Amino acid sequence: MSHVVGSVLPVPSPIHLGPDAGPPTDGPDTWSVEFTPEPASGGTKLVMLHFTAATLPGSNRVEVDLGYGGADTMDVFTSADGADFWTRPINLAAFGDAQVPIRYIRNGGGATGGVTLGQYGRGERHAGEQDPTSLSNCDPFLLDAVYVEPDYDPFWYCADPPNWENIAQIPSASDIRRTVARSVGMVYHADGSHLSTCSVTLVGPDLVLTAGHCMAQPAEHAKSSSVIFNYETEADGSRPAGYAGRFFKVKEVIAQHWNTATDDMDYCLFRLKVPPGLPSIQMRHDIPGAGEQVFGIHHPNGAVKKLSIPHSGFATVQSSDVNNVRVPNNFHVSGGSSGSGLFDAVGRVVGVLADGDPCGNVGPSSQLRYYPTASILQQVAEPPADPPITRDVMIVFDRSGSMSLAGSSGRPKIDEARDAASLFVQLILAGTGNRLGLVSFSTSAVKDFTLHDVTDGNKASLVGPPPFSGGKIGDLDADGNTTIGGGLKKAAEELPDGASNPRTILLLTDGLQNTPPMIGEASVQNALAGIGINAIGYGTAANLDGPLLDSLAQAHGGTYVRADSLLQLEKYFSQAFGNIFESGLLTDPEFVMKAEERRATPFPFNICDEEAVTVVVGWDNLDTTLFIEVVTPDGATIHAGAPGTESATGRAWTFLRVPLPQNGEREGAWNVVVFRPGGGGEFPPPAPATRYFINVIAKGGPRLERVPDARTYYTGDTINPMVFLSYPSGGSPENVQVKLKVTGPRVSAGNLLSQERLHQPSAAGGDTIPALQATMQAIEARTGGPAIVYGESEVEMSEGPGSTGGAFESVGLFGGPMKDLLAFEGDYTFHAVATYGEGCISSRELQWSIHVGAAVDPGRTDVTVVRTGTRVDGRATGTVTITPRDPFGNLVGPGRDLTVSGTPGTTVTGPATDNGDGTYTVPVAWDPESGEPGVVVGQPGRPPVVLTPPGTGPEGHSCRWCWLIALLLLLLSILLLWLYWFK
């Protein structure tokens, strides 16, 4: 929270009022008390009282004096306000003894009734949580004769002093900015252990617009929220004559949306209990264009009302679309400005301040982002339907020849994959409206099982009877080439647009596409539009196309994970079920059961508000079988087959689904016990050492989701993985903490490939293995182990704006920028673990992978030129040989997808030759008067780089046009980054 303006504190001795508390204290029907809050060290600005356990029979009421003066002198609460309510902010200074008068009044309610004051909010100067160096001064009653400005959170502006001014500095009362300012206010509410503010705009007689993240928990935050509209000073900061701050209580939230993991929408519309009697600001129905004049009015860090930019000019829209209206970095705001309106030159509100990184603190962005009112109006007019609880899923299964090779267990990979897929099928609940189908592919794709309702009979058709190793999936055999695009396109035919259920493809592959149709073809991409894709790659870097699978999943709102063992393969199919159909993983540990060990140590996990849990255990050895018991907090044991539960056991997995509550038990510490069958008899079952995992999949409660990140990463890039923990109905849990474990390569594939030299393509079971992967496989065959070694690192993720891409309010949103993580090319797997809650502590886990390419770094790359002759036109001929290296000096290596063109004055006269040892030779012709030749090398998703021989840059003066080339490439890089960040 960046705009903390006070604390929420317990009343040391809770105060009880009303008939239930004893005899009246003031007359026959009145119970009175004066509450004295603990003074803040720097002065108390206001207090808000929180009443609970209220019973107000008949016409009984609670009255609290507010110290406002005039007709609006008190808050009055009746049974219509429920059992839990907050007062508006109270001007404590209006009471000479700093005591707030509270009364419980009986009016025909009989002999019972009462209310408890156990908590209050205290407004005070307060350090920010995201930036502890900032210090708010939210003083809506203007207790000081001259307002003292906060120490502002500088993340959202780039130089002191901030480029804003007090509203009263606008000289003309008829100025449109002064007119609009009357209807701009500040919402004040309790948020966990703090008081917080955002900026708002009145858009109807009693309708108020702000950002969705300002009401991240709509029902809870609305309960304590109030809005003030006249919180402003004179131009010099002095208190206006006759000033009397007044708050208006929030009645209800009308519409709210904020889920940064799924979209860019960020808005909230709420209604006040009493109209403030101010002009309504029109919400603009169309999106402003670039160059339009705009201004903003806001309350940064809870301060008095400000205008951005100062009244001598207007800002201009830099860019806009249905999700964004962006303004330049001289448009200053700070914490507490979030939710404020952006207004056009005629005073219409065109957007709501959502987030931004105007100073380029965490990325190439240098602008603030407002969510357009045109899009808000469309959302409100056509609200999205409730999230469906059923899904349509097509499994797309790789049966190419490479799947015949041995997997981590020694069995063929296709055999291991059939077991993992059967687990996914059996986990899906039958008879609930879900639908499932199967497509397999090798040289061509086949619909093995068209999309059908998930029933027990259809599940049996797919995987057969126990141990679920038969059916359509059990019949799949490995042979032929690989058409991943063909498999996806065939599956999409079963998932037509307009279906009532969300559409998802779960792709399993162990190889590289080598047979049309390819994923990138227009026919495949068109077929996949609107379909979510989760991809599981099985194998090592020697046989997977990590960049392709990563980009495929990212483009379709899913995740890519790389499994390098049977255990991980089963685990990721289990997790795919949790991510597609349920609320995700609650926990995900791995263990080893020792040889002859029969019963593992109980593994504990906590349950809070979940509706059911599914405990999945998978193991890597077919010579044993494992079973599950679940133990409740009170010690009751739940076995497979218990009434109301569901269970199944395959060859290398088992699960037990337990609905909650179970015999009245839900919240608390549960345990999973993994055990083997007893060892009696003449021939007891074997008990070898066995690795196994436990997945506890949650149904109900919050979901942990990855924030989409479509960027293509290369070595040396800074990466900021972000996750979002939220409830499907809105809002996030309290006290969230997130740790991130990253597993990534620790050796350079480019160095290994260059040393090995590039091999020719090979074949496996009729499947073509490209040269690069064939080379990696040769290295693995010679060394007897994976070519790429992996290591782990762990970071604590943060809610600060520098970690969340400039989010003003990051409830449930966590990030962790890492500058030096991506030191080697390859697949990086991220494992986020979120814990949350007060009293009851629970958790969610999420895993995903990305692929990182080796970046060509011009400062590290060797360039040599060999001149072979002179053409009749005087141009020199020869070759440029490059040895590409990344920013860490590692060789990029052979077999890479590099595009090569010439620098000005240089013409590439033929295709580049991959020499197989990490060098590339390019035939060129050039004008000797322009200096030595150079080449421009491009990589997918990355700005091109200029490579010239040593000493031929601007300092060497032998490359006449290098300064121009560098400038053009810089401008191109900026353009590409702009297109990426603001697309």
**3 state SS of 876:** strand
- Provide the H-helix boundaries in 684-829: 749-756, 771-783
Is the pLDDT at 653 greater than 60? The verdict is yes
**Smallest Cα–Cα separation from 214: which of 918, 882, 809?**
809
Amino acid present at 19: P
Conformation bin of residue 540: beta by default, left when phi > 0, alpha when psi is -120 to 50: beta
Most confident among 385-389, 654-658, 956-960 (mean pLDDT): 654-658
Residues 6+ apart with CB under 8 A from 626: 593, 617, 619, 654, 674, 675, 676, 690, 692
The answer, yes or no, to whether residue 364 has pLDDT greater than 70, is no
pLDDT band at 937 (very low <50, low <70, confident <90, very high): very high
Task: Write the pLDDT tens digit of every residue in 399-423.
Answer: 999 899 888 888 999 999 999 999 9
779-818 pLDDT per residue, tens: 888 888 888 899 999 988 988 788 887 887 767 889 988 9
pLDDT tens digits, residue range 153-168? Answer: 888 888 889 999 999 9
pLDDT band at 536 (very low <50, low <70, confident <90, very high): very high
CA-to-CA separations, 108 to 81, 440, 570, 724, in angstroms, rounded: 18, 74, 66, 50
Using an 8 Å Cβ cutoff, are 599 and 687 in contact?
Answer: no
Q: Where are the alpha helices (H) located in 371-439, listed in sequence order?
A: 373-381, 413-427
What 3 state SS string does 65-96 have? ECCCCCCCCEEEECHHHCCCEECCCECHHHCC
User: In 820-961, which ranges are continuous DSSP H helix?
Assistant: none
Beta carbons of 507 and 484 less than 8 angstroms apart: yes
Confidence at residue 677, expressed as pLDDT on a 0 to 100 scale: 83
- Going by C-beta distance under 8 Å and a sequence separation of 6 or more, which residues neighbour residue 56? 62, 77, 78, 79, 81, 109, 113, 115
Cα 209 to Cα 373: distance, rounded to the nearest angstrom: 10
The pLDDT assigned to 70 comes to 78
Residues 97-143 have pLDDT tens digits of: 899 999 999 999 889 999 999 999 999 998 876 677 788 999 999 99
Query: What is the sign, positive or negative, of the torsion defined by CA atoms of 128, 129, 130, 133?
Result: positive
* 69 has pLDDT over 50: yes
CA proximity to 550, closest of 509, 611, 494, 501: 509
Both tokens assigned to 462: 């797919």
In this prediction, residues 613-621 reach a mean pLDDT of 95
User: Percentage of residues in the chain with pLDDT exceeding 90?
Assistant: 73
Can you tell me the mean pLDDT for 502-507? 94
Tokens of 565: 């063992």
Give dist(CA 628, CA 128) in Å, integer. 47
Residue 734 token pair? 């309290």
Closest-CA residue to 576 (of 619, 547, 536): 536
Residue position matching structure tokens 């979510």: 532
For residues 653 and 529, what is the distance between their CA atoms, to the nearest angstrom? 34
Q: C-alpha angle with apex 488: 486 to 490, nearest 5 degrees?
A: 70
Pairing of strands 392-398, 435-441: parallel
Q: Tell me if 73 sits within 8 A of 65, measured CB to CB.
A: yes
Mean pLDDT of 373-402: 86
Please choose, from the candidates 828, 810, 793, 817, the residue with its C-alpha nearest in 3D space to the C-alpha of residue 725.
Answer: 810
The mean of the pLDDT values for the chain is: 90
SS3 category, 301: helix
Name the residue among 47, 44, 41, 40 with its Cα closest to residue 102: 47
**Residue 762 in 3-state DSSP?**
strand
Q: What is the pLDDT of residue 923?
A: 97
Lowest mean pLDDT among 349-363, 394-408, 421-435: 349-363
